[in-house]
């Protein structure tokens, strides 16, 4: 099911690829579009959605694209113990809730606590991540 993209959205995605030094290709644009549509998707989900729209795409190609997208800061990766990692378009820093039963991940808008200096002597922090773990409403 191919979704129409507004010309300004397509141009913004193309510029985003150029800005990080990546060549603009149809598959890269489609994978980036899938990620920008929201959600936390694993490689197989991304591949399936993009393949449906493009007609052909391999998981290996998506892995390679995601590596480049991660290296350039276009996407972020969230590791889920016991489940495949999920990816999302890089946005403002945020935190996550993880369902330990089904692996569902949702964004949580909450301020992370400031760590105490005790035990962190000499450390220079550049990020903090807060992950809530439990069961989502569907699994309860």
- Give tens-digit pLDDT for 37-86: 988 999 999 999 999 999 999 999 999 999 999 999 999 999 999 999 99
Q: Do 12 and 59 fall into the same domain? A: yes
Helix axes 43-54, 26-36, angle to 10 degrees: 120
63 located within any domain: yes
53 located within any domain: yes
C-beta of residue 80 within 8 angstroms of C-beta of residue 136: no
CATH number of the domain at 73, please: 1.10.10.10
Q: Which domain holds residue 96?
A: 92-140
1 located within any domain: no
- Give tens-digit pLDDT for 2-47: 455 567 778 888 999 999 999 999 999 999 999 999 889 999 999 9
Q: Do 78 and 140 fall into the same domain? A: no
Number of domains in the chain: 2
123 located within any domain: yes
Residue 1 is predicted with a pLDDT of: 43
Q: Do 98 and 139 fall into the same domain? A: yes
pTM of the predicted structure, to 2 decimals? 0.86
């Amino acid at each position: 099911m191919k979704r129409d993209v507004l010309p300004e959205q397509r141009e913004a995605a193309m510029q985003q690829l150029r800005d990080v030094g990546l060549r603009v290709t149809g598959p890269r644009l489609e994978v980036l579009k899938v990620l920008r549509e929201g959600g936390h998707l694993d490689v197989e989900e991304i591949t399936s959605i993009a393949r449906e729209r493009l007609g052909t795409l391999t998981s290996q190609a998506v892995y390679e694209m995601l590596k480049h997208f991660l290296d350039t800061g276009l996407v972020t990766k969230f590791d889920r113990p016991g489940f495949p990692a999920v990816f999302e378009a890089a946005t403002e820093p945020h935190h996550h809730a993880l369902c330990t039963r089904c692996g569902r991940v949702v964004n949580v808008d909450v301020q992370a606590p400031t760590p105490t200096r005790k035990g962190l002597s000499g450390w220079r922090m550049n990020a903090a991540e807060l992950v809530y773990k439990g069961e989502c409403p569907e699994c309860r």
